[in-house]
Amino acid sequence: MTQSDFQREREAEARVGRRAIWTMAAILLAVWIVGATSILIERDIEGVDAPFFEPWVLEGTSLIVILPLFYFVRRMERLAPIGASRWALALPVHFAGSLVFAAITIAWMAGFRATVWPVLFDHPYDLFNDTPLQVVIYEYRKLLPGYVGPLALIYVFRQIEMGTLELEAARQHARSTQRLTLKCGGRILRIEADRFISAKAAGNYAEIRLETGEHLARITLAELQTQLASAGVEAIRVHRSWLVNEAAIAEIAPTGEGDIVLTLTNGDQVPGSRRYRDRLVSA
């Protein structure tokens, strides 16, 4: 790995953290609003007379500490990265992490509420009452999503960032070597770009036809077209599901319905839609 590659990965990982914590903050804000307003609505229905802002303080007590604890979860994720570590290792690490996460949050909730309730609401507050074990289990169950959620966000945003880095690396490789980088069945193929004839979209995959054969690769037509352009091959979108090498087009014939049919140099016939017809004729 070159220094520039290392720097790009560090920057990508920093973006993962920023996006995850901002998303977590938005989720916690939504949870706070929904939780507090739900309590207010229930009390209104039941005719309970209580201070309006009490539910906001009640719900906000735990949420306000969960956000800074994101950095604790982030550290635990680095010890056992989700998707990169064996489950036999990751599960014990994150179970221990969730216990510490819950213990800190519960201790904060108990201490904060015991301190501010007599001042704000003129009555004491005891989180544990006479059933501390049941309360701890109950609160741990409620707080577990607060630990798992950041793990999931980090995983999702990292997958996005790593995918972006892979795409950029493939484009740079195409520019420097005029070869395509294709992921096919767990393998990575390096193929001469000028051998490309056509490609058909197949969900998240593309059926790619070359002078030397066919491959089913995990790539979108848009990204394939970008790689080809980087390698100096002019590929044209002729249909929402088809991409062809301009140099491989032997004939363009109308269908009589506004669409067209393209005959390629290898004898294949590819449909062309009216949406792309003018672009094809001008090409």
SS3 string of 10-61? HHHHHHHHHHHHHHHHHHHHHHHHHHHHHHHHHHHHHCCCCCCCHHHHHHHH
Structure tokens at 177: 């070597």
- In terms of Cα–Cα distance, which of 10, 36, 108 is closest to 65? 108
Same-domain pairing of 148 and 187: no
Query: Of all helices (H) and strands (E), which one includes residue 182?
Result: strand 179-184
Residue 282 pLDDT: 56
- What was the pLDDT predicted at 20? 96
Q: The sheet that has 235-239: what strands, in order across it? A: 213-217, 205-210, 196-202, 242-245, 235-239
φ, ψ of residue 92 to 5 degrees: the values are: -60, -40
**Alpha-carbon span 260 to 270, nearest angstrom:** 9
Let me know whether 154 and 220 are in one domain.
no
My answer on whether 198 and 133 are in the same domain is no
Which parts of the chain register pLDDT below 50?
Answer: none
Say if 174 falls within a structural domain.
Answer: no
Asked, for residue 175, whether it belongs to a domain, the answer is: no
246 Cβ contact partners less than 8 Å away, ≥ 6 residues apart? 234, 235, 236, 283
If asked whether residues 9 and 145 sit together in one domain, one would say yes
Q: Which pLDDT score, from 0 to 100, does residue 242 have? A: 93
Residue 53, domain extent: 3-167
Same domain, 137 and 235: no
| Whether residue 155 is found in the same domain as residue 212 | no
State whether 193 and 128 are in the same domain: no
The amino acid occupying position 11 is E
Flag whether 209 is in a domain: yes
- The answer to whether residue 217 sits within a structural domain is yes
Same domain, 53 and 141: yes
Same domain, 158 and 218: no
Nearest to 281 by CA among 236, 245, 214, 240: 236
If 0-12 CB within 10 Å is exposed, 13-18 middle and 19+ buried, where does residue 106 land?
buried
Query: For the whole model, what pTM was predicted?
Result: 0.79
pLDDT at residue 258, as a whole number = 75
Per-residue model confidence (pLDDT) at position 278: 65
In the block, tokens 């390629």 appear at: 264
Euclidean distance between CA atoms 57 and 209, whole angstroms: 62
**Of the residues 134, 167, 200, the one at which a domain ends:** 167
Greatest Cα-to-Cα distance within the chain, rounded to the nearest angstrom: 86
**Amino acid letter, residue 248:** A
